[in-house]
Amino acid sequence: MNTNLLNNYAEAVSMIIFAIGFTNLLLHKNLIKKIIGLNIMDTAVYLFLALKGYIKGHVAPIIIDGVVEPEAYINPIPSGLVLTGIVVSVSVTALMLSLTIRLYKRYHTLDLDEISLRLKKEGL
């Protein structure tokens, strides 16, 4: 077990980062901090994915010097996935930020609970 953990320390780190992001997103009241948490979480996943594709000693799958054996290259699919993921995460972050701006304009606070409280008072 311990050796497993040591061997895969990078994966372990990514999971720890994921957990940090997750808790941030879940528990923080401040919206901006939540968004930061979201990004941390996503980044952790990308790190994890990239690790999956990386094979020690291999290089990016671009044919240089006519080397064509697959053993020389890393797995390109995870990199593609990471790219897709980043696009998704960017758009989501953008949307979240725009929502946050709207809320801030209305209520002048970033505290979600505070906003809920105000809403209740408004009686909407």
Partner 1 sequence: MRDFVQNFPLFSIILCLVSSSASSLLKGKAAKWVNTVLICVVGAMSLTLTFYCLAHGSFTYTMGHVPAPWGNEVRGGVLEGAMGTFFCLIMLLSMTGGRKKLLEEVEDTKQNLYYILVNLMLCSLIALVYTNDLFTAYVFVEINTISACGLIMIRQNGRTIEAAVRYMIMSLLGSGLFLVGICLLYDITGHLLMSNIKESVQALVESGQYGEPLLIAIAFMMMGLAIKSALFPFHAWLPDAYGYSTISSAAILSSLVSKGYIFLLIKIIYRVIGFEVVRESLLLNVTFVFAGLGIIFGSISAMREDDIRRMVSFSSVAQIGYIYLGISLGTQVGMVAAVFQILSHAATKSMLFISAIGLTDASNTSRKFKDLTGSAYRNKIAGMGFAAGALSMVGIPLFSGFISKLLFMQAAVANYGKMLPTMIVLAISTILNAIYFMKTVVRIYSPERDLYKGREGFKVIHTREQIEYTCTVILFIALNVALGLCSEPILELIGKGLEMFA
Residues that bind partner 1 (CB under 8 A): 18, 21-22, 25-26, 31, 34, 38, 41-42, 45, 48-49, 52, 77-78, 81, 84-85, 88, 91-92, 95-96, 99-100, 102-103, 106-107, 112, 115-116, 118-119, 122, 124
Distance between CA atoms of residues 6 and 13, nearest Å: 11
Read off the tokens for 75: 């797995």
Least separation in angstroms between residue 30's CB and partner 1 is: 12
User: Closest approach of Cβ 85 to partner 1, in Å?
Assistant: 7
Beta-ladder partners of 73: 59
Residue 67 or 83 with smaller CB distance to partner 1: 83
Distance separating alpha carbons of residues 87 and 71, to the nearest angstrom: 29
Q: Taking a C-beta distance cutoff of 8 angstroms, is the pair 110, 96 a contact? A: no
